[in-house]
Chains A and B, each alone.
Chain A
Amino acid sequence: MDETVAEYIRRTVLKIPRAEIKTMLQKWGFLSEAQLQTLNFHQIKDNISQEVVQLCEENSADIKQAAVLDIIYNHIYQNKKMWSVYQMKKSGEELECFDITDFKKKFKGRLRSALKNVTITFKEYEDNAIWIRVAWGTPYKKPNQYKPSYVVYHSQTPYVFICASVLKSNLPLLCQALIVASNYHDIREMELRSHSLDSLKDIVFKRYSQNFQTYCPKPLQGGNVEPESADIRIVQENRSEKERIHRLNWEVFGGGPQPKLEFAQYKLETMFKSDPKMGVLDKKEPFRCLVKFSSPHLLESLKSLAPAGMADAPLSPLLTCIPHKARNYFKIREKKGLFPESFVSP
């Protein structure tokens, strides 16, 4: 077995938390159950990984098998990576049947015709997700297994999720291979990025609870507004305002859990407007700002701003449009003409 493969397997096993190693090796399926029984999982990880490498040596593992183990690790710990979303476009209305073998063949073919040294690995999962791992080399160097790109493609949709890795120069080639393999004619990057792959899927596949404008239900009984006190001398101030905020929030965000995003960024190129009496800035050029919102769960925290008194209800459409516009990077310019107060987001 090649020492670089041995080292790669050793390092991959080291990344796995000790309690998970056995399950992950079983999922991998490269080592037999009998071989796994010989492993002592109660020693320090250094020793465990050495023993695993020895067993892989017995089975003559090559880089292809090692790459599959890497995919399995990254599938389970997918939230450690930053994912970008790409959308593919078809030229016509042809609804072709998706053929996985054809896809793989075309993908590999396109990449290999441009770059001799690449390691390409596929793994399919039950939710129709195809995971693709690509390790990139150059005409003169073997592929760097430690900085691969990962692609997740749901074949029933035009969406691809990419964790590009540091080697951004390979991105155009990767995109090309994807559209060739999937019979689309164009691909574009959406302004949507997050660590939570599932949340990105929720947003583009519209799997989160949305609210549809035509349906106006009554707010949930006993919702977020505090219950009446037994003492009639205690009166809820602003009760109707609180209910109004709660209802507006419900209309915008829906009743269910929000997709999990960590940040939203707005590049503002709008004019600075103020009361002329204040005698301040009155430039003809935009007031250039960059605003970034961050939170462990951004949409939930935005949802709680109005009830907390920190924001007006309804919340600004710049914020509430995030899930249904499927983006968290925005460039906002002033809209000229009829409605000077509204914004254009190109």
Chain B
Amino acid sequence: ENVDLQKTAFLLRKAWTLYSVTPLYRFHRARLRDYARLLSAFIAAEKQKGLAVEVGVELDIKVAVSSLADLRGSEQDQAAVLVQLSLRSRASSRNSEDKLVWLGWFCSVYGDDLSENLPEDFTCLPLFLTHGAESYTSMVGSWFQKTFDCCFRRLAISPLNLSWMVAMWAGCKLDRAASAVELVFSVPHLSQPLDISYAIHPEDAKALWDTVQKTPGEITQEEVDVFMDCLYAHFHRHFKIHLSAAKLVKVSTAVASAHCDGIVKILHSQYLLGVLMLLTELAISQIQ
């Protein structure tokens, strides 16, 4: 699981919007440069149609598509594919630095469940993460859908999955001072909406999880339930409120944070693949 920290540093501390993607038909890794050119032309055409608003100087969108060899779980996984959109101002003739405006990458970390029984023409990269304006995401997504006959869907994260994440991540051992383990609940259907933020000192959250988890390296649904019940009970003891009846919308730890709308931030390189593995699993279950 040796991921090149330098190359993957750009993944950390960014809010990524998640999508599930069905397998790509006839995607060839040798043709990445061609794809970049075709996507660039597509985006230029979309802009001509007036789908993107431009003010002042005409701006060129430069597209780069590359392979991230290390970003995968096992040898069965396809290596991740990164798409970068940069803005290059035509007005300056010198080689002024391009401004990165949008990032998107496809990946699969231990996605064997999906790739196992696929015919050869299909490339399995079920998780798609984007960072940048929605208008660009839409254009890139449309091009991929047309070109590779695949289907993108926003990946929602259920409260059940969020509770798995917070239990797992709260238990992670971290070498430096960690931020709080925070759970955010929403109670929408009252006369006035109510949001509840429940933040636990990371040492205390980890201590609790350590007594709940019976087998190291293995997590069961029962253990997650006990962990959550403990947190709910402690809250109820003080406030007499049944937090379990509220909607868990966001969890945040020093390892990563996740929002039910399918937005994730990975904060710690040590657990990058672990988080991606979990997200790949979610993407695959949304596809199947």
Inter-chain contact B192/A291, CB cutoff 8 Å: no
Q: Which one of A273, A281, A301, A343 contacts B194 once the chains associate, using CB atoms below 8 Å?
A: A301
B113 within 8 A of partner (CB) = no
Closest CB in chain A relative to B16 CB, distance in Å: 26
Inter-chain contact A288/B190, CB cutoff 8 Å: no
Near A by CB (< 8 A), chain B positions 214-265 give 226, 230, 233-235, 237-242, 245-246
Inter-chain contact A280/B208, CB cutoff 8 Å: yes
| Chain A residues whose C-beta falls within 8 Å of the C-beta of B192 in the assembled complex | 295-298, 300-301, 304
Q: When chains A and B are docked, how far (Å) is the Cα of A297 from the Cα of B240?
A: 20
Residue of B nearest to A291 (CB): B198
Q: When chains A and B are docked, how far (Å) is the Cα of A215 from the Cα of B189?
A: 32
Near A by CB (< 8 A), chain B positions 156-214 give 180, 187, 189-201, 204, 207-208, 211-212
Inter-chain contact B200/A289, CB cutoff 8 Å: yes
| Chain A residues whose C-beta falls within 8 Å of the C-beta of B195 in the assembled complex | 293-295
Residue of A nearest to B180 (CB): A290
A300-B191, A304-B192 given as contacts; is B242 within 8 A of A281 (CB)? no
| Chain A residues whose C-beta falls within 8 Å of the C-beta of B198 in the assembled complex | 289, 291
Inter-chain contact B196/A280, CB cutoff 8 Å: no
A291-B199, A301-B187, A308-B189 given as contacts; is B240 within 8 A of A316 (CB)? yes
With an 8 Å Cβ cutoff, the count of chain A residues facing the other chain is 43
A39 within 8 A of partner (CB) = no
Closest CB in chain B relative to A111 CB, distance in Å: 39
Q: When chains A and B are docked, how far (Å) is the Cα of A268 from the Cα of B195?
A: 18
A287-B204, A318-B239 given as contacts; is B212 within 8 A of A280 (CB)? yes
Q: Which one of B189, B200, B230, B242 contacts A280 once the chains associate, using CB atoms below 8 Å?
A: B230
Closest CB in chain A relative to B135 CB, distance in Å: 30
| Chain B residues whose C-beta falls within 8 Å of the C-beta of A309 in the assembled complex | 242, 245
| Chain A residues whose C-beta falls within 8 Å of the C-beta of B237 in the assembled complex | 273, 341
Residue of B nearest to A268 (CB): B238
Inter-chain contact A308/B190, CB cutoff 8 Å: yes
| Chain B residues whose C-beta falls within 8 Å of the C-beta of A279 in the assembled complex | 211
Q: When chains A and B are docked, how far (Å) is the Cα of A294 from the Cα of B187?
A: 10
Q: Which one of A266, A268, A311 contacts B242 once the chains associate, using CB atoms below 8 Å?
A: A311
Q: When chains A and B are docked, how far (Å) is the Cα of A305 from the Cα of B185?
A: 14
A281-B208, A288-B200, A288-B204 given as contacts; is B238 within 8 A of A304 (CB)? no
| Chain A residues whose C-beta falls within 8 Å of the C-beta of B199 in the assembled complex | 289-292
Q: When chains A and B are docked, how far (Å) is the Cα of A312 from the Cα of B236?
A: 9
Which B positions have Cβ atoms within 8 angstroms of A?
180, 187, 189-201, 204, 207-208, 211-212, 226, 230, 233-235, 237-242, 245-246
Ordered by A's residue number, 17 sampled pairs between the chains whose C-beta atoms are within 8 Å are: A274-B230, A280-B226, A282-B211, A283-B207, A287-B204, A289-B199, A289-B200, A289-B204, A289-B234, A291-B238, A301-B190, A311-B241, A314-B240, A315-B239, A316-B238, A316-B240, A341-B237
List 16 extra interface pairs beyond A305-B241, A309-B242, A319-B239, CB under 8 A: A278-B230, A287-B208, A289-B200, A290-B197, A291-B199, A294-B197, A300-B191, A301-B194, A303-B191, A308-B187, A310-B187, A310-B190, A310-B242, A316-B239, A318-B239, A341-B237
